[in-house]
Amino acid sequence: MFGRKKSPTDRPVLRKDRTGMSPAVAGAILLVLIVVATYFGFSKNLPFSEGYKLDATFESANSIRPGSPVRIAGVNVGKVKAVQRAGKSDAATVTMELQDKALPIHKDATLKIRPRIFLEGNFFVDLRPGTPSSPTLDDGDTIPMTQTSTPVQLDEVLTALQYDARQDLKDVLEGLGTGLTYQPKAVDDIGQDPDVKGETAAQAFNDTYKYAGPAELNASLVNQAVLGTSPGDLAKLIDSFGKVAAALARNEGALQGFITNFNLTTAAFAAEETNLRASIRLLAPTLETANATFTDLNAAFPPVRAFARAILPGVRTTPATINAAFPWIDQTRRLLGPRELRGLVRELQPTTAATARLVDQTIQLSPKVTDLTQCLTRVILPTGDIVISDGNQSTGFENYKSFWQTMVGLAGEGQNFDGNGLYVRFAVGGGLNSVSTGRTSSGTGQLFGNTVLPPLGTRPKYPGRRPPYRPDVKCRTQPIPNLNGPAANIGPGETVRSRNATPRSTPQGGKDTSTPAPLSQPSIADELAARLNPFTNPAGSLRAEGEVKP
């Protein structure tokens, strides 16, 4: 009624004729934006960007699927993107995409496939980035199979425990039970410790608890020693052991060889059980000696430090000394030239070869010289030191002294003052007793003489035959002869015959025993008489005038 007057062109606009975005499209776009925002809020990844890629080769990846998480110390740092076969082998290559918080990854990194908790299900890849001192891996690098491991599945355990294995395990358990409850017999207790004789293995094992207290005390001392002498020693030990274990894990072939060699070493120790026990018994005094040595070494360090400080001036003058030695080195180089010592060495080469031959011959001669010297020191010289007991004729001197005294007396006896040389004179006496040297093998014939008194006999007694000669037995192995023993007794005077002696009676049916039968072979005394008898000449006849020229 009041207001603007309606125009003929004014008419109502219908909804379908309106322009702009429809509410349905706007609602759909809003829904998409909400979904994208929600995805970004939970995934924390850009949809069109790729993260850090890392490949790893596993012996088996049947428990890993694309999308399985990758964790470091229980925190998700990525996920598995793909699992594929590694070449033509049975191994698998797992491709993982890691977030920035997982970096850096080092070359000694290790990966293990582990089962997730019961509510999570499936498996995950446990990543250990490695040590900071190791070089880092680039995007797309591959970790070898020597640095990865897979879990042991229950079916694999059951597969390993087949009937034979289960039966063997059963037999082992039955044998263990029998061994623990077996009542030993008297034969079984031979060599056992008295504390466990008559007891079963289980009872003897229970007896060990008596010694558990001192043993635990010693174990605590060992554990205390393992902690080290300063803070952090045990941590350093564990860290070093971890490095050793990682090095062994990276080299499975070397680890297998190490285990094989360790088995051989253990077998060698078992074979030398007695010597090993003796070594362990000597370990305590050895450690005591080592401690004393270390104490002395610590005490020696201050003088060494003082010496080091005192030698510093000499060390500082060493460069000048070296510069001053250059002229001498030049002269020495010329001395070692072809015209000097090098030429001398070349000329001495034949002599060197001859010397080598001489050394070889000396090596062959040395054992013989050793046999000779040992023969002298063990047999001949000790024999010469023996004092011969000869009754009233004993001199009281060692027999080697008596021998040289005889030589001196013989030399004095043979002195002469004319030009005929040395003579030994013998006063040929008379008597009723005829003495003969017996038959000899030297061609000098049998010699006769007369004595006033009958000889008591010969000493040493003639054994009846010549001792055997054994060139294969060394002199040094022979015992020292007993010069005063039974073999040194006085023998009968077989070659003595008295002119006025009454002939012995001849037994009936026997022969005359007054004259002994001639010897079958000459004795050593005959040989000596043939060479030293002054009454014979090369023809075997006596010299005239009772004097013989030696």
Which one is predicted more confidently, 6 or 277? 277
Mean pLDDT, residues 150-159: 66
Alpha-carbon gap, residue 386 to 398, rounded angstroms: 5
> Has residue 493 got a pLDDT over 80?
no
Alpha-carbon gap, residue 77 to 125, rounded angstroms: 10
Q: What angle do CA 381, 384, 386 make, to 5 degrees?
A: 120
Give the other-Cβ count within 10 Å of 423's Cβ: 17
How many alpha carbons lie under 13 Å from residue 228 in its C-beta half-sphere?
9
How many helices (H) does the chain have, and how many strands (E)? Answer: 14, 13
> Has residue 52 got a pLDDT over 80?
yes
> 462-480: buried (b, 16+ CB within 10 Å) or exposed (e) per residue?
beeeeeeeeeeeeebeeee
CB-CB contact of 225 with 233 (8 Å): no
CB-CB contact of 428 with 454 (8 Å): no
Q: Which pLDDT belongs to residue 516?
A: 41
Q: Which pLDDT belongs to residue 536?
A: 44
Q: Which pLDDT belongs to residue 509?
A: 42
Q: Which pLDDT belongs to residue 501?
A: 42
Give the pairing type, strands 110-115 and 52-58: unpaired
Confidence band (pLDDT; 50, 70, 90) for 510?
Answer: very low
Structure tokens at 234: 């045990």
Alpha-carbon gap, residue 498 to 431, rounded angstroms: 9
Q: Which pLDDT belongs to residue 506?
A: 40
> Has residue 43 got a pLDDT over 50?
yes
DSSP type of residue 371:
H
Q: Which pLDDT belongs to residue 187?
A: 80
* Cα four-point dihedral sign 397, 398, 403, 405: negative
Mean pLDDT, residues 173-198: 81
Q: Which pLDDT belongs to residue 110?
A: 92
φ/ψ region of 457 (left if φ > 0, alpha if ψ in -120 to 50, else beta) reads: left
Cis ω before 367 (30° cut-off from 0) = no
pTM of the full structure? 0.29
> 105-137: buried (b, 16+ CB within 10 Å) or exposed (e) per residue?
beebbbbbbeeeeeeeeebbbbbbbbeeeeeeb
Percent of the chain at pLDDT exceeding 70: 76
Mean pLDDT, residues 383-412: 85
Torsion of CA 279, 281, 286, 289, to 10 degrees: -160
Confidence band (pLDDT; 50, 70, 90) for 186?
Answer: confident
3-class SS of residue 213: helix
Mean pLDDT, residues 115-141: 83
Nearest to 493 by CA among 537, 437, 430, 533: 437
> Has residue 385 got a pLDDT over 60?
yes
Confidence band (pLDDT; 50, 70, 90) for 224?
Answer: confident
- Report the mean per-residue pLDDT for the chain: 76
Sheet holding 448-451, edge to edge: 448-451, 433-436, 496-498
Give the other-Cβ count within 10 Å of 70's Cβ: 25
Mean pLDDT, residues 479-502: 66
CB-CB contact of 102 with 75 (8 Å): no
Tell me the C-alpha to C-alpha distance, in Å, between residue 156 and each of 115, 124, 159, 165.
15, 19, 5, 13
3-class SS of residue 96: strand
DSSP type of residue 209:
G
Identify residue 161 by its one-letter amino acid code: L
The helix or strand, by DSSP H or E, that contains position 203, with its residue range, turns out to be helix 201-207
Give the pairing type, strands 547-548 and 424-425: antiparallel
pLDDT tens across 319-369, in order? 888 888 888 888 888 888 887 887 888 888 888 888 888 888 889 889 889
User: Phi and psi (nearest 5°) for 447?
Assistant: -105, 150
Q: Which pLDDT belongs to residue 502?
A: 42
CB-CB contact of 523 with 462 (8 Å): yes
Strand partners, 53: 97
Q: Which pLDDT belongs to residue 27?
A: 78
Structure tokens at 534: 């002054």
Give the other-Cβ count within 10 Å of 149's Cβ: 16
Alpha-carbon gap, residue 212 to 216, rounded angstroms: 6
> Has residue 543 got a pLDDT over 60?
no
pLDDT tens across 266-316, in order? 888 888 888 888 888 888 888 888 888 988 888 888 888 888 889 888 888
Nearest to 437 by CA among 540, 340, 511: 540
Mean pLDDT, residues 232-256: 80
Alpha-carbon gap, residue 496 to 515, rounded angstroms: 9
> Has residue 534 got a pLDDT over 80?
no
DSSP per residue, 230-262: STTHHHHHHHHHHHHHHHHHH-HHHHHHHHHHH
> Has residue 382 got a pLDDT over 60?
yes
Identify residue 456 by its one-letter amino acid code: L
> Has residue 507 got a pLDDT over 50?
no
**Alpha helices (H) in 385-496, listed in sequence order:** 399-413
Q: Which pLDDT belongs to residue 417?
A: 67
Number of residues written out for the chain: 550
Percent of the chain at pLDDT exceeding 90: 3
pLDDT tens across 65-75, in order? 888 899 998 88
CB-CB contact of 424 with 445 (8 Å): no
Q: Which pLDDT belongs to residue 39?
A: 67
Which one is predicted more confidently, 97 or 26? 97
CB-CB contact of 381 with 369 (8 Å): no
Q: Which pLDDT belongs to residue 185?
A: 82
